[in-house]
């Protein structure tokens, strides 16, 4: 399995500011994913980030609000811009990895964001 | 579009009792199926997965799940629950979007498991 780390693990931010979340993987992966988990809710895919190309955003998510970088095959960042209290969520980085056979999707520990 | 239903929002069991968490999916083809567990303050950990083959899948921590195509279900089971199993459990279906193992996950809303001593 892939080992995924995220920074910061949690943060408290003021509305109107931005926060950049980092995701580091211990192996090279083609696709990295960013999810949001709002309080008491399930996971929602924000975007898929491929190295060397623009991220692909899901319906309801836009690049201006959630810009993503993917500079290499082991690292990605997600920025939550111009934050409001509605952005308070857990943000999870995810990758697909396999030793043999089909790839399995693994998740990082998450970044817990509270916007005041 | 695919969807996942976890009918039980919250389940309480006694330690040592058996457990079954229900998961039903809607998808037009053979799905890839997963169970993840999220302990308090933690990320998601993969318990088990089904891609094809044997419909009874063994996972970590003594969990198993059975894919029943006729019922569109993938229920998670454990014969004897431990206090450390208290967590939230998410069922997910992977819809094939082409390219071999290229699939997109859709998650259920989760089942919160409480274990009484």
Fold of A4-101: Immunoglobulin-like (2.60.40)
- Percent of chain B exceeding pLDDT 90 equals 77
Find the CB nearest B49 among A42, A45, A104. A104
Q: In angstroms, rounded to a whole number, what is the distance separating the alpha carbons of residues B49 and B37?
A: 12
Residue B96 pLDDT exceeds 80: no
State pLDDT tens for residues B11-59. 999 999 999 999 999 987 878 999 999 998 888 999 999 998 899 999 9
pLDDT per position as a tens digit, A10-64: 999 999 999 999 999 999 988 899 999 998 888 999 999 988 788 999 999 999 9
Dump strand ranges (E) for A1-116: 4-7, 10-13, 19-25, 31-37, 43-50, 56-57, 68-72, 75-80, 89-97, 104-107, 111-115
Rounded to whole angstroms, the Cα distance separating A10 from B74 reads 33
Is B49 an 8 Å CB contact of chain A? yes
| Fold of domain B3-116 | Immunoglobulin-like (2.60.40)
pLDDT band at A99 (very low <50, low <70, confident <90, very high): low
């Amino acid at each position: 399995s892939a080992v995924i780390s995220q920074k910061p693990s949690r943060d408290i931010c003021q509305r109107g500011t931005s926060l950049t979340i980092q995701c580091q993987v211990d192996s090279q992966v083609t696709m990295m994913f960013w999810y949001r988990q709002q309080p008491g809710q399930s996971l929602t895919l924000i975007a898929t980030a491929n190295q060397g190309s623009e991220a692909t955003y899901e319906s309801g998510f836009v690049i201006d609000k959630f810009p993503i970088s993917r500079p290499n095959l082991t690292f990605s960042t997600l920025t939550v811009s111009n934050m409001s209290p509605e952005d308070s969520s857990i943000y999870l980085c995810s990758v697909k990895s396999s030793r043999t056979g089909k790839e399995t999707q693994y998740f990082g520990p998450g970044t817990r964001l509270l916007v005041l | 579009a695919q969807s996942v239903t976890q009918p039980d929002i919250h389940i309480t069991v006694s330690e040592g009792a058996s457990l079954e968490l229900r998961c039903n999916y809607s998808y037009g083809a053979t799905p890839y199926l997963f169970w993840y567990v999220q302990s308090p303050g933690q990320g998601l950990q993969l318990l088990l997965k089904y891609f094809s083959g044997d419909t009874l899948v063994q996972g970590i921590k003594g969990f198993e799940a059975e894919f029943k195509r006729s019922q569109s279900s993938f229920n998670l089971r454990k014969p004897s629950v431990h206090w450390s199993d208290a967590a939230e459990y998410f069922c997910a279906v992977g819809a094939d979007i082409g390219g071999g193992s290229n699939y997109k996950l859709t998650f259920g809303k989760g089942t919160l498991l409480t274990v009484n001593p």
